Amino acid sequence: MVFPVKTTGSFFFRMFGVYLLLTFSFPALAALPEVISQIKPSIVGVGTYQKLATPRASLTGTGFAIGDGSLIATNNHVVPATIAANKNTAFVVFVGTGNTPDIRPAHLVARDTEHDLALLRISGPPLPPLRLSARQVREGEMYSFTGFPIGAILGLYPVTHRGMVSSITPIAIPARTAKELSVSRLKHLKNPFFVYQLDATAYPGNSGSPVYSQDNGEVIAIINKVLVQNSKENALTHPSAITYAVPVRHLSQLLATQP
């Protein structure tokens, strides 16, 4: 049977498009399981631990090891402004997976309130640090992120999601309280910095999760917020699938300030 030229050409271009899609998509997807297995030992929970409380552990977000492996990167809003005066309450990092994680005391070494970043220092054996990427991120690229989207109700079990960079867009970090509305913050709200908008579902516990390349695990951003529809409760029951992440260059700048 002889097909008209128009149909044959259309078919050819469709098949060529499928070939290109498979050629450029499969390597990254094939590498992702191995990359996830390499990423997970670097992922930690960030929160507080109180011996006399029920439950004893409270997970406020996610963090990940960088630098020499004793530094943990996370969001500034994950770190309490002050720790309760109660001697039984400690600010900690949860290392490992399952119901019996290694609980390590952590202390804050640096904050970047403008870009919602913080660096913590932990004691004990160093964790495998993640590499920070210097690549230029483009809209349309796919990335993954790993963290604790619903906290640690059943124990520490990192969860991985993935999504496309839908937009590189300006955003402002809102103040947590009226007391934080300083002159400098008000100026910042008028001149916000750029972040990555992802078409991916994240939850409050994902704050501080690393966003990384699916082919080599290099970190390109840090999850810091999701678009909430109507109320905070909807962030869990009806997620918007719109997530924002802070470009890793700001974390690199914060890391450079450390001795």
Residue 63 resides in a domain: yes
Are 155 and 251 members of one domain? yes
DSSP string, 37-77: HHHGGGEEEEEEEETTSSSSEEEEEEEEEETTTTEEEE-GG
Amino acid letter, 6: K
Per-residue pLDDT band at 20 (split at 50, 70, 90): very low
Are 114 and 208 members of one domain? no
Give the pLDDT confidence of 93-127 residue by residue, as tens digits.
Answer: 999 988 888 999 999 999 999 899 999 999 999 99
Residue 52 resides in a domain: yes
Give the pLDDT confidence of 190-237 residue by residue, as tens digits.
Answer: 677 899 999 998 888 899 999 999 999 999 999 998 754 444 444 444
Give the pLDDT confidence of 71-82 residue by residue, as tens digits.
Answer: 999 999 999 877
Are 153 and 252 members of one domain? yes
Q: How far apart are CA 178 and CA 56, in angstroms?
A: 31
Domain that includes residue 227, residue range: 142-256
Q: For residue 28, what are the contacts with CB-CB under 8 A and spacing of at least 6?
A: 142, 213, 214, 215
Are 92 and 159 members of one domain? no
Are 45 and 30 members of one domain? no
Are 21 and 45 members of one domain? no
Residue 127 resides in a domain: no
Longest C-alpha distance within the chain, in Å?
84
At 53, which helix (H) or strand (E)?
A: none
Is the pLDDT score of 2 beyond 60?
Answer: no
Residue 45 resides in a domain: yes
Per-residue pLDDT band at 56 (split at 50, 70, 90): confident
pTM: predicted TM-score of the whole model, two decimal places: 0.79
Are 112 and 89 members of one domain? yes
Domain boundary residue among 79, 94, 122? 122
Residue 134 resides in a domain: no
Residue 60 resides in a domain: yes
Are 60 and 146 members of one domain? no
Residue 116 resides in a domain: yes
The CATH number for 146's domain is 2.40.10.10
Structure-token pair, residue 3: 């097909």
Q: Reduced to 3 states, what is the DSSP secondary structure of residue 43? A: strand
Are 178 and 76 members of one domain? no
Number of domains in the chain: 3
Are 75 and 57 members of one domain? yes
Are 31 and 46 members of one domain? no
Are 28 and 93 members of one domain? no
Closest CA to 147 of 132, 158, 135: 158
Amino acid letter, 30: A
Residue 137 resides in a domain: no
Give the pLDDT confidence of 161-179 residue by residue, as tens digits.
Answer: 999 999 999 875 555 555 5
User: How confident is the prediction for the chain on average, in pLDDT?
Assistant: 81
